Amino acid sequence: MILVVKSKKVRRKLFLHLRRRLNCVLSVFFFMLISGCDYGPEIIEISGKKFGTTYRLIIVADQPAPADLSEMIESELNKIDVSMSTYKSSSEINQFNRLNTNIPFNISEHFASVIEISENIWLESGGAFEPTIGPLVDLWGFGPDVKSDKVPSESDISSAIDAVGFDAISIKVAVTGTTLSKSRPVRLDLSAVAKGYAVDVLANLLESYALPDYLIEIGGETRVSGYNPQGKPWRLAIESPGVRGGVAHIVSMTDGAVATSGDYRNYFELDGKRYSHTIDPKSGYPITHNLTSVSVIADSCAEADAWATAMMVLGDEKGLELANALDLAVYMVLNEGQTLKSSNSKAFEAYKAPNSEIPSAKEI
C-alpha cells in the first residue's frame, strides 16, 4: 500500500519523525561499533544583540554545524538591519522614504520579501496592518525621535492621516529585480514585521545546513522546528501582561512561529488617561479597546509578527471574527477592570496545553 501525504505541514512532520528514528538507529549502531564515543546530539547556543533588542538560538545538532555559524548569523542580521532599520539614515528604507514621488527605487531581495508579506496582510486585514503608519507613530511620540508625552491637535492628526496609506506604494517585479515607488509622499515603517522576518531568515540558514531542530528568538518573536534537547516538542510560554509578568499560556510545537504584540509596555499617561503605542491608522488615535495582548501562531514568524500587530488594532471582536474566517491561530488577553480574561480563535485550540502544565519560565 502506498501512502500519499498531500499536506506540506504533515509531510514535514513525517519527515522529521522518520529522520529522527533513522538517526537514532544509526547512532545506536555506531555506538556499538565505536566504544567510548560521545552519544547524543550537540546542543549549540548562540546569542547576541541586534535591532535594539536581543536574539538567541538553541540548536540540537546531530551532525557538525559550520564552524563560523555565529558569524554567518551575524552577517544575515546585519543585512536586514542595513535594509530596514529606520534608525540608520543610510538604510534602504530611509533612502526610499526620502525619495520624491513616482521615482522607481531598486530594492534588495530581503526588502522585496518583507514588502510582499506586508502587502498581503495589509489587504487581508482591511488596512489594520499599515506599513506607512510612521507619521502617526511619530506624531504621538512613539517613533525613533525623542519621546514626547502629549496629545496632538486634531488638525495635526488629520494631516498625518493624509500622509498614511499603503495604497500609494507600487511594486514592480522584473527579471532585473524589484523596484518600489510611491504615488504620494508616504514613508514606510516595517518594524512590525522585520524582526519576525529576520527569524525566518535564520531558520532558512539553519535548514540549509541540515540543522532542522532549533529554537530562534529575536526580541520575543520565536520560531521552532523539530525537537528540543530532551527529544520532545518545544514548549513556549505566552507572557501574561502587566507589571508582575508570569505566564498566561503554554503552547507545544514542533513546527511554526509565535509572535506577541501588546500595549502594556509602551505607552504614556496624561491627565489620568492612558495612550497606547498601537495607533489605529483609520482614526489616527491610539487604540481604546480592552485588548491588551495578542499572540499569533503561523508558519512563518514574519506573518505571525505582522498579524499580531493587525489584531491589536482590530480588537478582540473584529480580530477573532477575522482570525476564524482566515483560520488563524490567535490567543488574546483582555483587561477587564482589575482582572485579565483570555479568549482564542478556533485554530488555536490545537495548541492548548492543560493549565496544570503552566510553569513560570518564559521558555522550556
Residues comprising the chain, all counted: 364
Confidence of residue 30 (pLDDT cuts 50, 70, 90): very low
37, HSE (Cβ side, Cα atoms, 13 Å): 12
d(CA 282, CA 34): 67
Enumerate the β-bridge partners of residue 129: none
Q: How confident is the model at residue 262 (pLDDT cuts 50, 70, 90)?
A: confident
Three-state SS annotation for 84-117: HCCCCCCCHHHHHHHCCCCCCEEECHHHHHHHHH
d(CA 129, CA 192): 9
Beta-carbon contacts of residue 235 (< 8 Å; ≥ 6 apart): 228, 250, 251, 252, 353, 363, 364
Specify the pLDDT at position 353.
64
Of 50-54, 300-304, 332-336, give the lowest mean pLDDT range: 332-336
pLDDT in tens, 130-183: 999 989 988 888 876 656 778 889 999 999 999 999 999 999 998 889 999 999
| Mean pLDDT to the nearest integer, 31-55 | 75
C-alpha to C-alpha distances, 217 to 47, 196, 223, 312, 362, nearest whole angstrom:
9, 9, 7, 21, 12
Question: What's the mean per-residue pLDDT of the chain?
Answer: 85
Residue-wise pLDDT for 301-327, tens only, equals: 999 999 999 999 999 999 999 999 999
User: Domains of the chain, with CATH numbers?
Assistant: 1-40 (no CATH), 43-86+189-227 (3.10.520.10), 99-182 (1.10.3980.10), 233-364 (3.10.520.10)
CA distance 217 to 257: 10
pLDDT above 70: residue 118: yes
CA distance 110 to 97: 17
- pLDDT of 81 above 80: yes
- What pLDDT, on a 0 to 100 scale, did the predictor assign at position 149? 74
Does the pLDDT at position 342 exceed 80?
yes
* Predicted pLDDT at 23: 47
Lowest mean pLDDT among 43-52, 148-157, 324-333: 148-157
Contact present, 312 and 287 (Cβ < 8 Å): yes
Angle between helices 191-208 and 69-84 (to 10 degrees): 150
Task: Return the pLDDT at 138.
Answer: 87
Look at residue 29 and give its three-state secondary structure. Answer: helix
pTM of the entire predicted model: 0.84
> With 50 as the cut, is the pLDDT of residue 37 above it?
no
Mean pLDDT over residues 316-343, rounded? 92
The residue ranking higher by pLDDT, 353 or 54, is 54
Of residues 112 and 152, more confidence is placed in 112
**Average pLDDT of the segment spanning 280-302:** 92
| Residue that is written with C-alpha cell 473584529 in the block | 318
